[in-house]
A and B are shown apart, each in its own frame.
Chain A
Amino acid sequence: MDSYFSILFTEVYKILFLLVPVLVSVAMIVWLDRRVWAFVQKRRGPNVVGPFGLFQSLADALKYIFKEIIIPASSNKLVFVLAPVVTMTLALISWAVIPFGEDFVLADINVGILYLFAVSSLGVYGIIMGGWASNSKYPFLGAIRSAAQMVSYEVSIGVIIINVLLCVGSLNLSDIVMAQENLWFVIPLFPMFVIFFISALAETNRPPFDLPEAEAELVAGYQTEYSGMMYAMFWLGEYANILLMCAMGAVLFLGGWLSPIDIFPFNAIPGPFWLIFKILFLFILFALVKATVPRYRYDQLMKLGWKIFLPFSLFYVVLTSSFLLYFDLLPGK
């Protein structure tokens, strides 16, 4: 029993060591998002609180904490309170399997990529619960839109993951990174990387696919009735999910913690920093897309997901597997 508690203690210590940086970086990434957005639009963005406005997110968080939480009288109270908690929790637990370096991962499980995929498919529930429990028209419409959108794009993400797995022969995320030692998958699977990036935008409800919270049509979508800390939790969960999608893209296509070329000044930088650089690179792409592309119409979004991305990525699965089979490159032989 004593050893059991000591294991528990070290695990909790490790989890804190992972989660605190993730939460801090979520706050920082919101600031970065707004700065990039402002930069593209020739504005200044948040630059008042702290140096370069770095503490803007902390000030915002403080504001949210001290605001009153309003629970609508006709809402389903328990589900209403549970929804942001679910969103936040699901956004954070997926970080357990992201490998930051060789043997530098919280849970090195065999089915890591499936775990990531499963948790991201659970993410729909936070939104549906929030929209339904609010018992109000706009949140409900937003939730339905969001659920349909996330389920649709998950399908193409799943097929894209199959493409990567064909080249790796393992579901373990560390194995996926190690398989890219010689060649990052972004080069042979470039079309898949593009589709993954666009699907990740849709999966995280980012512009140009932010129809669930299209303010011109639905006020704020599923979060209309939320206020104070509960709204902040939705918001944090959303950004944590965006970061996670960036991390997933970095691990699947950009070689995770590996340095781009294995020569001195590059391979001296430790692996976790490379992963962070790659996540930041993908995130800045996310922010640039947000700043430049206008919002899609809903039928266009569905058409893109089901009629273009899904057939194309299925075709690419056939292409990849035939290529691997023909040149006898199949892994795990």
Chain B
Amino acid sequence: MIAHSVFFYIFSLIAIVSAVMVTVSKNTVHSVFFLILDFISISCLFIMIGAEFLGMIMLIVYVGAVAVLFLFVVMMLNVAEQKGQWFSSRWDGGTHIPVGLLVSLIIFFELIIVIGGWKYKPDLLNSLSLSISTEVTNTKSIGNVLYTDYILLFQISGMILLVAMIGAIVLTYRERTGVKRQSYIKQISRERNEGVNLVDAEKNKGVKIDA
């Protein structure tokens, strides 16, 4: 299939180039746009190997939700202010250098493991006990495995996400005082005799309200 491999190379090229551009481009918003392009081309690759469900979920979750939040955060940051901070040659005490080194070391070792794992690929392919049938759509086969054999892991990961979400809300929550809130029940249940107060005003004296 010539057409298939042509499309494969086009999408992989876009994926790699945009992944590089995420780190290279100086404008953070452009970085996020390249990240989105990367996600989209990866999901195209997923669809090309027949994992259509994964590809679509990739689009919905990563592009439709996660990247939008990224974009929000990045747009809210004052980019002009950052330029002085991150891109200047001025030495600012180097507090971020150790963390950066640690992260890059971890990524380096992970890459070694991934490339080392390549050696075992033929064994893995031979010992493939999974029966891939073209009869069942992959949405169904994922559901069959996810909700039976791996239900515990699935539920635990859901719980972890929930806890993380609650944690984020608790961390950023601040109670504001003196805020007027609209209460529909209060508004609707308001009666005439509560809202209107008839007062006989005396001549030349006036009336004091809310006394």
- Which residues does A use to contact B, with CB under 8 Å? 1, 4, 79, 109-111, 114-115, 117-119, 121-122, 124-125, 128-129, 132, 140, 144, 147-148, 151, 154, 158, 171, 332
* Known A4-B3, A111-B139, A115-B56; contact A79-B68, beta-carbon cutoff 8 A: no
Is B36 part of the binding interface, using a Cβ–Cβ cutoff of 8 Å? yes
Q: Which chain A residues lie closer than 8 Å to B57 at the CB level? A: 114
Q: Beyond the given A121-B64, A124-B64, A129-B33, could you list 18 further A-B residue pairs with CB under 8 A, ordered by the A residue number?
A: A1-B2, A4-B2, A109-B52, A111-B56, A114-B53, A114-B57, A115-B56, A118-B59, A118-B64, A119-B59, A121-B60, A128-B68, A128-B75, A132-B29, A140-B75, A144-B72, A148-B72, A151-B64
Q: Which chain A residues lie closer than 8 Å to B52 at the CB level? A: 109-111
Q: Which chain B residues lie closer than 8 Å to A140 at the CB level? A: 75
Q: Which chain A residues lie closer than 8 Å to B33 at the CB level? A: 79, 129
Minimum-distance CB pairs A-B, first 8: A121-B64, A118-B59, A114-B56, A110-B137, A118-B60, A111-B52, A111-B56, A118-B56
Q: Which residue of A lies closest to B140 (CB)?
A: A332
Q: For the complex, would chain B's binding face be called helix, strand, loop or mixed by DSSP majority?
A: helix
Q: List 11 A-B contacts (CB under 8 A).
A: A4-B3, A79-B33, A111-B56, A114-B57, A118-B63, A121-B60, A122-B64, A125-B36, A151-B64, A171-B53, A171-B139
Within 8 A of A (CB), among B50-72: 52-53, 56-57, 59-60, 63-65, 68, 71-72
A158→B61 CA distance, assembly (Å) = 11
Q: Which chain B residues lie closer than 8 Å to A151 at the CB level? A: 64-65, 68
Q: Which residue of A lies closest to B181 (CB)?
A: A299
Q: Say yes or no: B3 contacts A124, CB within 8 Å.
A: no
Question: Quick one: CB contact mask for B67-106 with A, threshold 8 Å, 1 for yes?
Answer: 0100110010000000000000000000000000000000
A154→B137 CA distance, assembly (Å) = 25
Number of chain B residues whose Cβ lies closer than 8 Å to a Cβ of chain A = 21
Chain A nearest CB, measured from B197 CB (Å):
29
Most B CB contacts (10 A, CB to CB) among A119, A128, A148 go to A128
* Known A118-B64, A121-B59, A124-B64; contact A110-B139, beta-carbon cutoff 8 A: yes
Q: Say yes or no: A111 contacts B65, CB within 8 Å.
A: no
Q: Which residue of B lies closest to A155 (CB)?
A: B65
Q: Which chain A residues lie closer than 8 Å to B137 at the CB level? A: 110, 171
Chain A nearest CB, measured from B94 CB (Å):
32
Q: Which chain A residues lie closer than 8 Å to B2 at the CB level? A: 1, 4
A170→B75 CA distance, assembly (Å) = 39
Q: Which chain A residues lie closer than 8 Å to B59 at the CB level? A: 118-119, 121-122
Q: Which chain B residues lie closer than 8 Å to A147 at the CB level? A: 68, 71-72
Chain A nearest CB, measured from B110 CB (Å):
29
A128→B33 CA distance, assembly (Å) = 11
A28→B68 CA distance, assembly (Å) = 33
Q: Say yes or no: A121 contacts B65, CB within 8 Å.
A: yes
* Known A1-B2, A110-B52, A147-B68; contact A122-B139, beta-carbon cutoff 8 A: no
Q: Which residue of B lies closest to A118 (CB)?
A: B59
Q: Which chain A residues lie closer than 8 Å to B53 at the CB level? A: 111, 114, 171
Most B CB contacts (10 A, CB to CB) among A4, A125, A332 go to A125
A108→B53 CA distance, assembly (Å) = 14
Q: Which chain B residues lie closer than 8 Å to A110 at the CB level? A: 52, 137, 139
A111→B33 CA distance, assembly (Å) = 26
A250→B81 CA distance, assembly (Å) = 50
Chain B nearest CB, measured from A301 CB (Å):
13
A129→B37 CA distance, assembly (Å) = 13
Find B75's partner among A125, A132, A332 (CB 8 Å cutoff).
Answer: A132
A160→B71 CA distance, assembly (Å) = 27
A115→B57 CA distance, assembly (Å) = 9
Q: Which residue of B lies closest to A158 (CB)?
A: B60
Q: Say yes or no: A117 contacts B60, CB within 8 Å.
A: yes
A314→B28 CA distance, assembly (Å) = 36
Chain B nearest CB, measured from A119 CB (Å):
8
Q: Say yes or no: A154 contacts B64, CB within 8 Å.
A: yes
Q: Say yes or no: A122 contacts B63, CB within 8 Å.
A: yes
A125→B75 CA distance, assembly (Å) = 13
Within 8 A of A (CB), among B24-42: 29, 33, 36
A132→B36 CA distance, assembly (Å) = 16
A147→B69 CA distance, assembly (Å) = 9
Q: Which residue of B lies closest to A165 (CB)?
A: B139
Q: Which chain A residues lie closer than 8 Å to B139 at the CB level? A: 110-111, 171
Q: Which chain A residues lie closer than 8 Å to B65 at the CB level? A: 121, 151, 154
A144→B29 CA distance, assembly (Å) = 14
Q: Which chain A residues lie closer than 8 Å to B72 at the CB level? A: 144, 147-148
A123→B105 CA distance, assembly (Å) = 38
Most B CB contacts (10 A, CB to CB) among A111, A115, A125, A144 go to A111
A124→B36 CA distance, assembly (Å) = 12
Q: Which chain B residues lie closer than 8 Å to A171 at the CB level? A: 53, 137, 139
Q: Which chain A residues lie closer than 8 Å to B56 at the CB level? A: 111, 114-115, 117-118
